[in-house]
Structure 1
Amino acid sequence: MAGVIGAIVDGYHDILENYSDPRVKDWALMSSPLPTLAICLTYAFVVKIAGPKFMETRKPFELQKTLIVYNAFQVIFSAFLFREALHAGWFSTYSFRCQPVDYSNSEHALRVAGGCWWYYFSKFTEFMDTFFFVLRKKNDHVNRLHVIHHGIMPLSTWFEHLIKFSEDKAVISSAGMLFSKRWDTNKHESNEQSDRKVNLEQEGDTCRAVKTLIKMISRTPGW
């Protein structure tokens, strides 16, 4: 058993030391996946246990103005990420086909890496979607799929950004963010306008499927 644990630990350090991008290892939250994992676990605890317990005897918060500001911020942030993907990627030296990643310290290469880091950071800002549901006592929206999706994305994106063979895929996947953000905006707007039972989960699953398809295509050999 000790040998298995030792092999896992050695493999973990081998990946971080020999297969990670040295340019970003000193960036915020990039030196180890453990802080990101801790944040994700805290998110799950808050939205599934602590948050509902806190709101149990309280009235739902009225957050209409807050949601308007939040949605506006997310749309602007998503547009920024999409613009970076175009100007640092497809409208510059990147093509629509797979290609080797530029790991130099050139201005362009660092801009691509920076755009990927902001995409990673955006996964944390999206936690607010769930926090707002909890504060408004919309617990039916905080289902298992929702929590797993939001809770695992920061960790998934961390590995995509830091590990050398994946950074180009993070640039590709950021293109899906602006598309999927419209789903989150619609979801909050619909909840503000009425309490009718609207089947928006299917729309959300479709958006996520499109994002996954973009990633799968970008990783296909020969592209």
Structure 2
Amino acid sequence: MRSVMAFVWEKIMFVDHNFEDIGAVVADKRTDKWLLVYSPVQMGTIVTMYLVMVWAGPRLMRHREPVDLRKFLILYNMAMVGLSVYMFHEFLTTSWLSNYSLLCQPVDFSDRPLPMRMAQVCWWFYLSKIIELSDTLFFILRKKNNQLTFLHVFHHTTMVLNWRFVVKYTAGGQSFFMGLLNTFVHSVMYAYYGLAAIGPHMQKYLWWKSYLTLLQLFQLVLVFIHTSHNLLIRCDFPTISNLVMLGHTSIFIVLFINFYYRSYLDKRKQK
């Protein structure tokens, strides 16, 4: 028992000798000064404004007519498809050219072109999570308050917080796997939203909505397995980062299973 506890403690406190020791992780000197990364005040202000919008928005719209955003949403969603495809390409190409391992991939903190390219796409992914906060604003303006679920708000809030942490401390390495999967899933998801925004006559072509939720669940399960494996082996990657990712993913899996059950399986039973 003591040997097991010693192993766990060593894993949690393990710090690579190249790090300037600050607990288990230190700021990446390459990304620390980048926009929306350096100070937690910037990110904290954005998240606080977002939560205020979630609370105040529906109240301000209560006696107003829904805003017609159809044409704008078509352009917005297709632009998000383009951004997601670009990031997926960057995650995939950079990890491939860098000979990334799926079993254990430390962060390369050097200024060489490929490690910098990976750090840059991690930052773009973080920025995309901030842009995606607009999804909530569009629901509020269209008075789609039924879409403002705990899952929706929790997802958008925590993804911003989580990926600010990634870019500041571990821009690359094991972190690439979630970015790779998520950009692929979001390419499909925003394509669905873009088609749905065209009009009701598109609904007959959107029969695959439930499969989109399953795709999101499958993504989360893969990230859970990937992160769990990394915790069980000796790998030069901060354990605290893996623990945060594992906890984050576990909560999402539970929430998405609950969402899938209520949205599809429970409705089928009622029918």
More deviation, 172-181/184-193: 184-193
Is 1:39 the counterpart of 2:46? The answer is yes
1:171 to 1:124, Cα distance in 2 relative to 1, 3 A: same
Alpha carbons 2:78, 2:194 under 8 Å: kept: no
Selected match of 2:214 from 184, 202, 206: 206
Q: Go from structure 1 to structure 2 and tell me whether the alpha carbon gap of 1:44 and 1:200 turns closer, same or farther (over 3 Å shift).
A: farther
Aligned-partner residue type, residue 31 of structure 2? V
Post-superposition offset of 1:20: 1.7
Tell which deviates more after alignment, 36-45 or 112-121. Answer: 36-45
Residue identity over aligned pairs, in percent, reads 30
SS at match of 1:67: helix
Deviation at 1:199, TM superposition (A): 11
TM-score, length of structure 2 as denominator length: 0.67
Query: In the alignment, is the contact (CA less than 8 A) between 1:52 and 1:134 conserved in 2?
Result: yes
Match for residue 173 of structure 2 among 168, 175, 182: 168
Q: Choose which of 111, 119, 133 in structure 2 pairs with 1:127.
A: 133
Match of 1:74 in 2: 80
Is 2:37 the counterpart of 1:24?
no
* CA distance in structure 2 between the partners assigned to 1:61 and 1:22 by the alignment: 44
Which TM-score applies when normalising by structure 1?
Answer: 0.80
Q: 2:146: which partner in 1?
A: 140
Compute the RMSD of aligned alpha carbons.
2.9
Match of 1:90 in 2: 96
Deviations 1:182-208 (A, max 9, x none): 2344246446634x9x99996565344
Determine if contact 1:101/1:167 at 8 Å carries over to the other structure: yes
Q: How has the CA–CA distance of structure 1 residues 128 and 53 changed in structure 2, closer, same or farther, with 3 Å as cutoff?
A: same
Cα 1:191/1:111, change in 2 over 3 Å? closer
Larger Rg: 2
Query: Per the alignment, in what secondary structure is the counterpart of residue 100 of structure 1?
Result: coil
Give 4+ residue runs of structure 1 displaced > 4 Å after superposition: 198-205
Which stretch shifts more, 88-97 or 24-33?
88-97
Listed one character per residue, the Cα deviations across residues 80-113 of structure 1 (whole Å, up to 9, x for unaligned) are 0001011111244323332222111111111110
Equivalences for 1:55-74 in 2 at 5 Å?
55-74=61-80
Q: 2: CA distance between counterparts of 1:200 and 1:42?
A: 34
Q: Is the 8 A contact 2:126 2:167 kept in 1?
A: yes
Look up the match of 1:113: 119
Alpha-carbon distance between aligned partners in 2 of 1:29 and 1:42, rounded to the nearest angstrom: 15
Structure 1 unpaired stretches of 5+: 1-12
Partner-residue secondary structure (3-state), 1:174: helix
AA partner of residue 33 (structure 1): P
Rounded Cα–Cα distance in structure 1 between residues aligned with 2:76 and 2:212? 19
